[in-house]
Every structure is written in structure tokens, then in C-alpha cells.
């Protein structure tokens, strides 16, 4: 039985989720309600415009200072004189910068770690961390997203060489897990997946293995399913994504 990655919108965040193709009779109830916290508003357009000058993350524009591409430190301010942006430009391309809300609170910070790695952090207007992103050669290798409260909301980590995830975690607003995916065997590219009922009780647990040839993931081994009281209600034995026995 194969796992297909899907993008599911959740309060403005595109969550990478695994969709399991199996008969409806084998699916647990999907009408459960999770306590989803406040993810905050989308970043303001006036603070997103600078991404166009950041070639490291895909920007392809050059910022002009008069008739020439900007070079050195450049500052932009709000009408009230409050600093909005301060960044260092190299021939029109943004390399290091900080953006600020109208209140003066830091909104985001981007900086290079070395020749191939860089990072960006963003904050909610209340000063709580909003997101943390790590890049390698312009590709996101780790991403963390937080609720307005500061509670961790979503985490993803990607394999350095293959097109698969080594970590995917989604949490409810109260901090209880909704789903967890973590690598348990790096050599076999095998991960353990857990899904939870609202409140944090385990709902299902099992392993999946990434196939390098097909660039797909398949469930393997024994998968267990539980009700909201923690009682095991079913087990499935799988080989290469195919269910052999159900008990």
C-alpha cells in the first residue's frame, strides 16, 4: 500500500501529509476535531517584497539605487520614520537583512552561515518566534512553524540526497501531537509514523520505507490501530505496501 504525499492547507500553512490508499472499511473515523491554535496572519506584502532580491531563495530581481544596482547597506523606513528594512546588497542582490514591523518589533532575519548554507527566522507581531528555516544551496532542508503562542506547530526535515522526508511533525494548539514521522533507519530510508487522536492518544503506528527507484514510500511491517481509549483494535501486516493479513 503506497503513501502519496499531499499538500493540505491548514490555517494558511501548506502541510505535507501522507495519504494512505486503502478501503474505507479499514479507515478509522476521520471526523475527529483537533484543537488548532492561532497560526497568525500572513506576512505583510510590504515586508515580503524583499524576497525578490534574495537570489539564495529564488529571487531573480536586482534592486536599483538610482541608475545602478545597490551595493552596501540600504535602509527603508515607514512614513513615521520607523526602520522597516536594513539589508546588505551585492550588485543589487540581497545577502543579509532584517525587516521590522511598524511597532519596531523584528519581523524576520536572513543571514548566510557559509558558502552553501543560510537561514531565516521570522517572528509574530507579539515577539514570539513564527518560523525557522534552514537552506542548503537554495533548497529548504529544515522548516519549523510556530503558533502565535510560541507553541511548535509543524516541523519538516528533508533527506540530504533523496527526495524524501526524514522528519514530519504536526502539533495541535495545546502542544499534543497530531502526527509524527521520524527516520529510524537511515540506511534503508525507513521511517516510523504515528497518528494521534485529539488529546494525544495514539491512533495508529507503523513503518514506511522509501523506494529510491520509484521515489515513493510504502508501508512495511506491522501497523497497529487504536481507539480513543488506547485499546488496540486492529493490526495489519504489510510487505512492500501490500496488506497480507489483518487481525
The region of weakest confidence among 47-61, 108-122, 155-169 is 155-169
Of 140, 142, 170, the closest CA to residue 16 belongs to 170
**Residue 152: CB atoms within 10 Å:** 16
* 49 — pLDDT class (breaks 50, 70, 90): very high
Give dist(CA 53, CA 76) in Å, integer.
Answer: 14
DSSP, res 48: H
Three-state secondary-structure class, residue 229 = coil
Taking CB atoms within 8 Å and a gap of at least 24, the contacts of 171-179 are 172/34, 172/35, 172/36, 172/37, 172/198, 173/35, 173/36, 173/37, 173/38, 173/147, 173/149, 174/35, 174/37, 175/151, 176/35, 176/200, 178/34, 179/17
Q: Which helix (H) or strand (E) holds 45?
A: helix 45-48
* 56 — pLDDT class (breaks 50, 70, 90): confident
* 23 — pLDDT class (breaks 50, 70, 90): very low
Taking CB atoms within 8 Å and a gap of at least 24, the contacts of 100-103 are 101/47, 101/125, 102/78
Looking at per-residue pLDDT, the higher value among 102 and 240 belongs to 102
pTM: 0.80
When pLDDT is averaged across residues 190-216 and rounded to a whole number, the result is 91
Q: What angle do CA 112, 15, 102 make, to 5 degrees?
A: 55
- Alpha carbon dihedral 157, 140, 4, 220, in 10-degree steps, equals -30
Do 198 and 172 contact (CB within 8 A), yes or no? yes
Taking CB atoms within 8 Å and a gap of at least 24, the contacts of 152-161 are 153/13, 153/37, 153/39, 154/13, 154/15, 156/16, 159/189, 159/210, 160/136
How buried is 58 (Cβ within 10 angstroms: 0-12 exposed, 13-18 middle, 19+ buried)? exposed
Give dist(CA 228, CA 109) in Å, integer.
Answer: 42
Q: What is the pLDDT of residue 88?
A: 98
The region of weakest confidence among 92-96, 103-107, 214-218, 220-224 is 214-218
Do 93 and 54 contact (CB within 8 A), yes or no? yes
Tens-digit pLDDT profile for residues 224-240:
999 999 999 999 999 87
Those residues with Cβ within 8 angstroms of residue 44's Cβ, 6 or more apart along the chain or in another chain: none
Tens-digit pLDDT profile for residues 128-155:
999 999 999 888 999 999 999 999 999 9
- CA-to-CA dists, residue 90 to 65, 101, 208, angstroms: 12, 25, 45
Strand 190-196 relative to strand 177-185, pairing: antiparallel
Amino acid at each position: 500500500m503506497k503513501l502519496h504525499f499531499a499538500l493540505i492547507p491548514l490555517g494558511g500553512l501548506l502541510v505535507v501529509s501522507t495519504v494512505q490508499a486503502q478501503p474505507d472499511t479499514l479507515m478509522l473515523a476521520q471526523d475527529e476535531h483537533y484543537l488548532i491554535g492561532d497560526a497568525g496572519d500572513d506576512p505583510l506584502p510590504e515586508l515580503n517584497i524583499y524576497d525578490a532580491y534574495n537570489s539564495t531563495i529564488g529571487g531573480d530581481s536586482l534592486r536599483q539605487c538610482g541608475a545602478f544596482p545597490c551595493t552596501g547597506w540600504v535602509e527603508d523606513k515607514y512614513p513615521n520614520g520607523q526602520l522597516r528594512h536594513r539589508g546588505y546588497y551585492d550588485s543589487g542582490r540581497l545577502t543579509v537583512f532584517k525587516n521590522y514591523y511598524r511597532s519596531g518589533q523584528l519581523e524576520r532575519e536572513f543571514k548566510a552561515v557559509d558558502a552553501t548554507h543560510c537561514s531565516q527566522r521570522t517572528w509574530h507581531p507579539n515577539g514570539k518566534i513564527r518560523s525557522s528555516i534552514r537552506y542548503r544551496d537554495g533548497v529548504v532542508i529544515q522548516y519549523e512553524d510556530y503558533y502565535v503562542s510560541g507553541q511548535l506547530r509543524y516541523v519538516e526535515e528533508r533527506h540530504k540526497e533523496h527526495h524524501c522526508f526524514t522528519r514530519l511533525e504536526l502539533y495541535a494548539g495545546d502542544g499534543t501531537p497530531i502526527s509524527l514521522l521520524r527516520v529510524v533507519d537511515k540506511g534503508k530510508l525507513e521511517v516510523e509514523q504515528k497518528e494521534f487522536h485529539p488529546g494525544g492518544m495514539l491512533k495508529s503506528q507503523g513503518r514506511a520505507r522509501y523506494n529510491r527507484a520509484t521515489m515513493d514510500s510504502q508501508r512495511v511491517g506491522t501497523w497497529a490501530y487504536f481507539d480513543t481509549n488506547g485499546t488496540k483494535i486492529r493490526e495489519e501486516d504489510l510487505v512492500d505496501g501490500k496488506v497480507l493479513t489483518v487481525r
